[in-house]
Structure formats: structure tokens, C-alpha cells
């Protein structure tokens, strides 16, 4: 189809929207509610354009192209209409930009500036403002909400949770949980995908920055930090590096400059997770296939706290299938306040564990009541990638000029298998690298140790692996086709679970990550995460893995050491106490 | 429309009568039967809610949660619909609905004072229900009896030229003898 936009004529496929056609020829129409790859919401009217022959302006995000269409994106009428939309939004908005979490990356502020809005002609009344500070992960501020509905769309269409929807009507509309209640009374899994797409400061993470500064300033405290694998591939974006730039070394320097007494790696605990979770899988397989005992299969991974809460609400029948392993964040916390405390001779009450996570649900996970096995809260504070970026800026550290530095041992040593925990498919691949070798004594027989069918952004992926010539102890696995599946995003997850429930699919081991793309697409990552950005971060993570000599969890010497010195063996008594947990059924509504 | 016919059917089957004696848990059980009659009907949410509103007089939380679960619609969306239409109410309504007209004519001829007097007597605000669930108080906009303002409507009965000092005489009979099954 032919379409002319601002005198540029172009050919596009049928079904393309005017907005897509315009952006394809580098004409940027401003939008607020539009989200790439999703059904247009048509809620904000910011994207209006003039179509020749049409009486009124149309929303370009939801208007399909017609052959011969002539569109103007920059007529006086269009500019006026957009400015009116903007002024109306601003007239209802609690605009304290200097004090706002989003002061630096706010889409509303950016657009208002770009449109040259200098005054607000409508001095209107503002709807009642209220704050929802009910959850450990997120803060909602209705005074900043522009009712674009992106959050509810993502919560329902991507995450299949549906915790948010439009309540009331007209001027009194609130985008929030049922009857404008607080988030902690509903089924929200605290994944923060809503906060990741919100164009303004209406949903943000609950910050722990002040608490972390306070701990760092307290000479009595030994403050250690762990960084999740996904941080190193995204933190650079906070400092204008292109997505997919690895900044591991600079990140370590920055953390040291901030004053942490130990700079460690969640990756260490990811390797530990593989040892525990891999052994757990083999134990379950042995029970079912060899000893003819009961054990829940498939086994699901348990690293992603949003997924855990989702299962507790919506799929309690699968709770016994979820690995009892704590997530790497929590394993790290428990080991820091026991093993590390002992090695260092520090009283665990004086140790403060800070995590940097790509995730808001990790804030929730850290304060779950099961997470106090060290005798203290295992992880004290959780910063998102964005918060770490902000702290580095607050400390006036010139990130670009930092030298590369290395993590401290022993909790900073890790394998490439741990790096790929950040990507969808990565935990599975890491587990297979180790489990296959335990069972057969040989390396996983795939090119460059990558299990290609479970890499990439497809929603549900599968891989099958036939086990040949196992070691004597694992003879019962000879010829067994090990079936695995990987899902990311809770919408994809629920499709997979429903198929399993209906008996349409059978697996032994399944990896679930709450966020699209895995942790690299987490709700705490720098904004804005598109599929293109996801791909670049995923690439960077695989590069980090491939650049290491050590690429299998069981080969990590620090892991071998912790078993020798402290834990004795996977699923042993100490492991059981410190590294494993349990789940509870929660209400579905 | 098929849905409407079903809706009426339900109403006569079970009647609005005495529904205020159902506990909220009993309502949640009853709503199961209602939803069964809509199985396979597309867009069942609004008709189910309407039926529930008619049956029970209001939409209790357990009822709405049941609707959400059975129809597989997020509770936030069910609540969104309920809070969008003023037809739906989530607080129990009394057996007798008292509506005070505040249309222009009634307003200037003392409607506001009548309203205040009823509020004082019943001890509830507009939109509220007495603890014994005998009265709910609402305001109305013109019942077409402006000539004899101010006007109060109790259920389907219109009272004209109401004096603030006389509202008690108006209400007391309803406390004792309003027959069950009166339309709300
Ligand atoms: S949301 Fe944006 S426009 Fe509103 S106060 Fe925050 S920075 Fe300013
Ligand atoms: S945190 Fe996740 S589950 Fe909760 S409201 Fe936001 S998108 Fe929905
Ligand atoms: S909270 Fe944010 S994403 Fe949700 S409707 Fe409001 S402005 Fe939009
Ligand atoms: S972007 Fe088109 S209506 Fe919001």
C-alpha cells in the first residue's frame, strides 16, 4: 500500500498502523500510551495526526494505513491538538519534577519540553492523590498517573496477573487494584513490569538507597554487596552506554568507591544453586525412574520470586514441583551471614547484605519470613539496577572514567554458567552443563556448551537430550530422553502450565522466569526495555560467559571449597537448613 | 434478548424478597447457580452482576470474588465494571429505599432541609444504610411532581409537600409493616 506522510511517499504492508509507517520513515510521532508489540490502547490521544479528507484528527497508533492515504503529522491543527492533550494532562498532574523519582527519564516531561509547552491554559482541579506504599517492592502515586493504561495492559496481557484495571469513571478514574485498594491486598506478584513501562513516576520501586547509605556510613557495620548477573549487561545504560555494553569491571570499581567492604557476586550463589538444584533434579529422577517412588516431576526452577508468588496464587497444584532451592540472592545472603561470617570472624549481626538486582520482586523476596535462616534477615537491602545507577551519580563518580576492577573472593568467584542465569534459557543451560557431566562424566555434547533451542526470545521453548552411556551410579538414566522446557513472562508460563495440566505436554525439568527475556528484562532494569534492547543484553551476557575459562558451576573452585569447608555435600544437612525453602498457597483473587 | 429473559426468570424464581437475610457466604453459594445459567454465554459478566444485584440488593465481596473466579476475569476488572456503573452497589441496601428529590423545585422549597431531617432521624448519610438494613437513603433528581414539592419517594410511593418536622411520621410505618417483596 502507498501512503504519503508529510510529503514522503512510502510503501507499507496492509495492517500497518499510521504510527508504524511514520516511524519507518523516521518521522517520530509523540506517544504516551503506545507500547511496541502490543495492541494499541488508544488512551492518550497524544499521537493524533491529520488525514486528508477525514473530518477529525485520528490516533495514529490505532489507525491502519489505507492505500493512497495522505497524512500530516505536523500541521498547525495537529500541534494544537497535541498541546491541548498535554496541557490537560499537566493540569491534573502533581508535577514536582525536581523531587520526582522520574525526574531524569520521564516521558511526560520530555514530551512537554519537546512540544514547547510553556504554560498550562487549564487551571483545573486535581483528582485526589493517594500513595500506595503497601508492598515491599513498589510505590504507587496516583497524583502522577496520567491514566495511559500501559501498566494494566502489561500486567494482564504479558503477565496474565491482572492486578490492575481502571476503577471508577471519568474524572474519578484510578488505574489500580480492585476498588482502588492497595497492591498488597491483591494478587500482584511484585514483578515491577508495570513500573518498567510507566511513562511517569506513578509506579516506581520502593527505594532502599537511604538505608544503604546509612549502612555504608556506619563504621560498626561490615557491608557487603552482591550483584546479579543481569546488572553487568545493563548498568551501562544508566550512563548512556548503548544497550548490551558489558560494564562488569567498572561496576566493581564503582561499588568499591561507594564504600562496600566486600564486593561479591550473586553469580557465586548461582553456581551454588546449580549444584543444589541439579542434585535435586537427579534425586527426583532417581526416585521416579529407578526406585519407583513418588516425586513430583517436572521440577521447576525457583530463582524468580515473581514466578514463585504467581504459582502460590494461581497454580498451587504445582508447588511441590518447584525446586526447594532458594534463589541465588537468598543463598548468597544465608552464606554471607554464616559461612563468610565464620571465615572472616565477623559477628553476623554486624554484617549488612545489600543486593543489586534487575528486579523489584527481589525486594519482596528478601523480606519473606522464610528468608531468615541465618538467624537474621539474610538479605537486608535490595537495590534495582536503576537505583545503583542513581547512587553512583549521587556519589559524583564519573562512571566512564573508572578502571576495571575484580570482585573479591571467595563469594565473588563464579563460572560462565552463572552469568547466563540472566537470560531466558540460561538457568536450564547451566543446569544441563553440570547435570549431564555428573551423570555421564562427559561434557555436554553441544556446540560451545550452548543449548541453542532454548536460547532467544520465543515465549515457550523446548529441548530434549538423550542420555547415553551414563556412569554406573546413573545407569537407570541410560537411553532416557530428558525433556526440558523454558518459559519467560508469566503469560507464556501460564500457557505452558495449562498444557501440562491438560496432559498435552510432559517434561522433566522446566525453567521459568517472570520477566520477558529473563532477568535482563527485569522490572528494575534501566528504561526503556524493548525487544531490541533485550536481544542486546542477552548477547552481552553470552559474551561474558564465552569469555571465561570457567564455564561450568561444578568446576568453580570456590564452590568446591564451600562444600569442603562448610556444606559438605549438595542437599546435605546444612544445605537443607540454609539453602532450601518452602512455599505457601495463597488466594487466587 | 436471551440474556434478559434469563435475568427476569431468575428474578421471579427466587425473588428479591428477604434476600437481606442471606449471609454473604450464602450469597456466594447462590451466585454459583446464577453463573451456571450463563455458562457459555459470551460477555456474561454484566448480566451476571445485574442478576446478583437484583437478587441480593448489593454486590458483596465474596460474591464478586466468586464471579471473578468462575468467569476467569481478573478481580480488578470485575471491580472496574462494578465501580463504573452507578447501578451497581457494593454496600448492602436497606429493604426500603428513601429518595429525597433535590431537583430545582424541591431544592428551593426545602428539599435540603427534608434531607437533613431524614439523615438526622435515620442516622445515616446519603448512600448509607441503617444498621438494621431497613432503610437506605439516596437523593433523586425530579420525580415529576414539582408542583407539590418538596417530594420524597419511598420505594415506589411518592410523598409530596413533605415537612422536615414530619419525616418521622412518614418513615415509622415502614419500620414495622412494609410488606416483603416490595420493589426497591
Ligand atoms: S512524573 Fe514526570 S512530569 Fe511528573 S513530576 Fe515526575 S518527572 Fe515531573
Ligand atoms: S508488579 Fe507485576 S503483577 Fe504487580 S501490578 Fe505490576 S505488573 Fe502486575
Ligand atoms: S500508573 Fe503509569 S502506566 Fe499506569 S496508567 Fe498511570 S501513568 Fe500509565
Ligand atoms: S499513543 Fe496513540 S492514543 Fe496513546
DSSP state string for A339-380 = IIHHHHT--GGGEEEEEEES-SHHHHHHTSTT--TTSS-S--
Among partner residues A156, A167, A176, which is closest to B74 by beta-carbon distance? A156
A199 and A98 in a common domain: yes
Could you give the CA distance from residue A308 to residue A330 in angstroms, rounded to a whole number?
A: 14
Contact residues of A toward B, CB < 8 A = 152, 156, 161-169, 176-180, 186-187, 588-589
The tens digit of pLDDT for each residue in A43-73 reads 999 999 999 999 999 999 999 999 999 999 9
Could you give the CA distance from residue B33 to residue B20 in angstroms, rounded to a whole number?
A: 18
Please name the residues between 71 and 90 in chain B that touch chain A, using a CB distance below 8 Å: 74-80, 82-84, 90
Q: What is the CATH number of the domain that holds A30?
A: 3.10.20.740
Which among A226, A229, A256, A281 is positioned nearest to A538, based on CA atoms?
A229
The label of the residue with cell 498451587 reads A316
Residue A195: inside a domain:
yes
Residue nearest to atom 8 of ligand 2 (CA): A155
Q: Among the three residues A35, A51, A74, which one is the final residue of a domain in this structure? A: A74
Residue nearest to atom 3 of ligand 4 (CA): A42
A157 and A115 in a common domain: yes
Q: Among the three residues A30, A45, A74, which one is the final residue of a domain in this structure? A: A74
CB A101 within 8 A of CB A70: no
Using a CB-CB cut-off of 8 Å, the residues of chain B touching A168 are 83-84
A96 and A36 in a common domain: no
Could you give the CA distance from residue A125 to residue A425 in angstroms, rounded to a whole number?
A: 50
Strand order in the sheet with A509-513: A299-300, A509-513, A481-488, A460-466
SS3 content of chain A, % helix, strand, coil (to 5): 45, 15, 45
User: b or e along A96-111 (b: 16 or more beta carbons within 10 Å of the residue's beta carbon)?
Assistant: eeeebbbeeebbbbeb
Helix (H) or strand (E) holding B15: none
Residue A103: inside a domain:
yes
By residue count, chain A amounts to 589
Query: Among residues of chain A, what percentage have pLDDT more than 70?
Result: 100
Residue A303: inside a domain:
no
Q: What is the CATH number of the domain that holds A127?
A: 3.30.70.20
Q: Count residue pairs from A and B with Cβ separation < 8 A.
A: 48
CB A88 within 8 A of CB A120: no
A39 and A116 in a common domain: no
Q: What's residue B14's pLDDT?
A: 38
A124 and A176 in a common domain: yes
A107 and A49 in a common domain: no
* pLDDT of chain A, 589 residues: tens digit per residue: 999 999 999 999 999 999 999 999 999 999 999 999 899 999 999 999 999 999 999 999 999 999 999 999 999 999 999 999 999 999 999 999 999 999 989 999 999 999 988 888 777 788 889 999 999 999 999 999 999 999 999 999 999 999 999 999 988 999 999 998 999 999 999 999 999 999 999 999 999 999 999 999 999 999 999 999 999 999 999 999 999 999 999 999 999 999 999 999 999 999 999 999 999 999 999 999 999 999 999 999 999 999 999 999 999 999 999 999 999 999 999 999 999 999 999 999 999 999 999 999 999 999 999 999 999 999 999 999 999 999 999 999 999 999 999 999 999 999 999 999 999 999 999 999 999 999 999 999 999 999 999 999 999 999 999 999 999 999 999 999 999 999 999 999 999 999 999 999 999 999 999 999 999 999 999 999 999 999 999 999 999 999 999 999 999 999 999 999 999 999 999 999 999 999 999 999 9
A56 and A111 in a common domain: no
CB B114 within 8 A of CB B164: yes
By residue count, chain B amounts to 184
Distance of CA A501 to the CA centre of its chain: 26
Could you give the CA distance from residue A287 to residue A295 in angstroms, rounded to a whole number?
A: 6
E strand segments, A406-480: 460-466
The C-alpha angle A207, A211, A217, rounded to 5 degrees, equals 140
Q: How many folded domains does chain A comprise?
A: 2
The tens digit of pLDDT for each residue in B25-70 reads 888 889 999 999 987 788 999 999 999 998 888 899 999 999 999 9
Strand partners for A383:
A356
The answer to ipTM > 0.90 is yes
E strand segments, chain B: 96-101, 135-140, 152-154, 157-159
The tens digit of pLDDT for each residue in B63-109 reads 999 999 999 999 999 999 999 998 898 988 788 889 998 888 888 88
A57 and A161 in a common domain: no
A93 and A181 in a common domain: yes
Residue A568: inside a domain:
no
A188 and A103 in a common domain: yes
Residue A418: inside a domain:
no
Distance of CA A461 to the CA centre of its chain: 19
The tens digit of pLDDT for each residue in A184-222 reads 999 999 999 999 999 999 999 999 999 999 999 999 999
A99 and A195 in a common domain: yes
Residue A424: inside a domain:
no
The phi and psi torsions of A457 (rounded to 5 degrees) equal -95, 5
- Greatest CA separation for chain A: 81
Q: Among the three residues A74, A104, A132, which one is the final residue of a domain in this structure? A: A74
Residue A93: inside a domain:
yes
CB A21 within 8 A of CB A5: yes
Residue A113: inside a domain:
yes
Do residue A589 and residue B80 have CB atoms under 8 angstroms apart? Answer: no
Query: What range does the domain containing A38 cover?
Result: 2-74
A98 and A20 in a common domain: no
Residue nearest to atom 3 of ligand 1 (CA): A109
Amino acid at each position: 500500500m502507498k501512503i504519503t506522510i508529510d510529503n514522503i511517499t512510502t510503501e507499507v504492508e496492509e495492517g500497518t498502523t499510521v504510527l508504524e509507517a511514520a516511524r519507518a520513515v523516521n518521522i517520530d510521532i509523540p506517544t504516551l500510551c503506545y507500547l511496541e508489540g502490543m495492541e494499541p490502547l488508544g488512551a492518550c490521544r497524544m499521537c493524533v495526526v491529520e488525514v486528508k479528507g477525514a473530518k477529525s484528527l485520528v490516533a495514529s497508533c490505532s489507525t491502519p494505513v489505507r492505500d493512497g492515504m495522505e497524512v500530516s503529522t505536523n500541521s498547525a491543527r495537529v500541534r494544537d491538538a497535541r498541546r491541548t492533550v498535554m496541557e490537560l494532562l499537566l493540569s491534573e498532574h502533581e508535577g514536582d519534577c525536581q523531587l520526582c523519582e522520574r525526574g531524569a527519564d520521564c516521558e511526560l516531561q520530555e514530551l512537554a519540553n519537546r512540544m514547547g509547552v510553556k504554560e498550562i491554559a487549564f487551571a483545573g482541579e486535581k483528582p485526589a492523590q493517594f500513595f500506595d506504599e503497601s508492598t515491599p517492592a513498589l510505590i504507587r502515586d496516583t497524583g502522577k498517573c496520567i491514566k495511559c493504561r500501559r501498566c494494566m495492559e502489561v500486567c494482564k496481557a504479558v503477565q496474565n496477573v491482572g492486578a490492575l484495571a481502571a476503577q471508577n469513571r471519568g474524572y474519578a478514574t484510578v488505574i489500580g487494584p480492585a476498588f482502588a485498594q492497595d497492591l498488597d491486598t491483591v494478587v500482584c506478584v511484585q514483578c515491577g513490569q508495570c513500573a518498567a513501562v510507566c511513562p511517569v513516576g506513578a509506579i516506581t520501586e520502593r527505594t532502599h538507597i537511604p538505608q544503604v547509605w546509612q549502612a555504608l556510613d556506619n563504621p560498626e557495620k561490615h557491608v557487603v554487596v552482591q550483584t546479579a548477573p543481569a546488572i553487568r549487561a545493563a548498568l551501562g545504560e544508566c550512563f548512556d552506554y548503548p544497550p548490551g555494553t558489558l560494564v562488569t569491571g567498572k561496576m566493581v570499581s564503582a561499588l568499591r568507591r561507594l564504600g562496600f567492604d566486600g564486593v561479591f557476586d550473586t553469580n557465586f550463589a548461582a553456581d551454588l544453586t546449580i549444584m543444589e538444584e541439579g542434585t535435586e533434579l537427579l534425586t527426583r529422577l532417581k526416585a521416579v525412574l529407578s526406585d519407583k517412588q513418588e516425586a513430583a516431576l517436572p521440577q521447576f526452577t525457583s530463582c524468580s520470586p515473581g514466578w514463585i508468588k504467581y504459582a502460590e496464587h494461581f497454580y498451587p497444584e504445582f508447588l511441590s514441583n518447584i525446586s526447594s532451592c532458594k534463589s541465588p540472592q537468598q543463598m548468597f545472603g544465608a552464606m554471607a551471614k554464616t559461612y563468610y561470617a565464620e571465615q572472616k570472624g565477623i559477628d553476623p549481626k554486624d554484617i549488612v547484605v545489600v543486593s543489586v538486582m534487575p528486579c523489584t520482586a527481589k525486594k519482596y523476596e528478601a523480606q519473606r519470613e522464610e528468608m531468615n535462616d541465618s538467624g537474621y534477615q539474610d538479605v537486608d537491602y535490595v537495590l534495582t539496577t536503576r537505583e545503583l545507577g542513581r547512587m553512583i551519580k549521587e556519589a559524583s563518580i564519573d562512571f566512564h572514567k573508572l578502571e576495571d576492577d575484580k570482585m573479591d573472593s571467595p563469594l565473588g568467584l563464579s563460572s560462565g554458567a552463572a552469568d547466563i542465569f540472566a537470560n531466558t534459557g540460561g538457568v536450564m543451560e547451566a543446569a544441563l552443563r553440570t547435570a549431564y557431566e555428573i551423570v555421564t562424566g562427559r561434557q555436554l555434547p553441544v556446540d560451545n556448551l550452548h543449548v541453542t533451542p532454548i536460547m532467544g526470545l520465543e515465549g515457550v521453548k523446548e529441548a530434549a537430550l538423550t542420555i547415553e552411556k551414563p556412569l554406573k551410579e546413573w545407569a537407570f538414566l541410560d537411553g532416557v530422553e530428558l525433556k526440558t522446557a523454558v518459559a519467560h513472562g508469566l503469560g507464556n508460563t501460564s500457557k505452558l502450565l495449562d498444557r501440562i495440566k491438560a496432559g498435552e505436554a510432559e517434561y522433566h525439568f522446566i525453567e521459568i522466569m517472570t520477566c520477558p527475556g529473563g532477568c535482563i528484562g527485569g522490572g528494575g532494569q534501566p528504561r526503556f526495555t524493548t525487544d531490541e534492547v533485550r536481544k542486546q543484553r542477552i548477547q552481552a551476557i553470552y559474551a561474558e560467559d564465552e569469555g571465561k575459562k570457567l564455564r561450568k558451576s561444578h568446576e568453580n573452585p570456590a564452590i568446591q571449597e564451600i562444600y569442603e569447608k562448610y556444606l559438605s555435600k549438595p542437599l546435605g544437612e546444612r544445605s537443607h537448613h540454609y539453602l532450601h525453602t518452602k512455599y505457601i498457597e495463597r488466594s487466587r483473587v | 434478548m436471551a440474556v434478559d429473559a434469563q435475568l427476569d426468570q431468575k428474578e421471579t424464581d427466587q425473588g428479591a424478597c428477604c434476600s437481606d437475610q442471606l449471609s454473604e457466604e450464602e450469597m456466594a453459594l447462590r451466585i454459583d447457580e446464577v453463573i451456571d445459567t450463563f455458562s457459555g454465554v459470551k460477555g456474561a459478566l454484566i448480566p451476571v452482576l445485574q442478576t446478583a444485584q437484583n437478587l441480593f440488593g448489593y454486590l458483596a465481596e465474596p460474591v464478586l470474588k466468586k464471579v471473578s473466579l468462575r468467569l476467569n476475569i481478573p478481580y480488578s476488572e470485575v471491580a472496574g465494571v462494578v465501580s463504573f456503573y452507578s447501578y451497581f452497589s457494593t454496600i448492602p441496601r436497606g429493604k426500603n429505599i428513601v429518595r429525597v428529590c433535590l431537583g430545582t423545585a424541591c431544592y428551593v422549597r426545602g428539599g435540603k432541609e427534608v434531607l437533613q431531617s431524614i439523615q438526622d432521624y435515620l442516622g445515616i448519610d446519603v448512600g448509607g444504610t441503617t444498621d438494621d438494613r431497613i432503610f437506605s437513603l439516596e437523593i433523586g433528581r425530579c420525580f415529576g411532581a414539582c408542583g407539590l414539592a418538596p417530594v420524597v419517594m419511598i420505594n415506589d410511593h411518592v410523598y409530596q409537600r413533605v415537612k422536615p418536622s414530619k419525616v418521622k411520621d412518614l418513615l415509622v410505618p415502614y419500620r414495622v409493616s412494609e410488606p416483603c417483596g416490595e420493589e426497591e
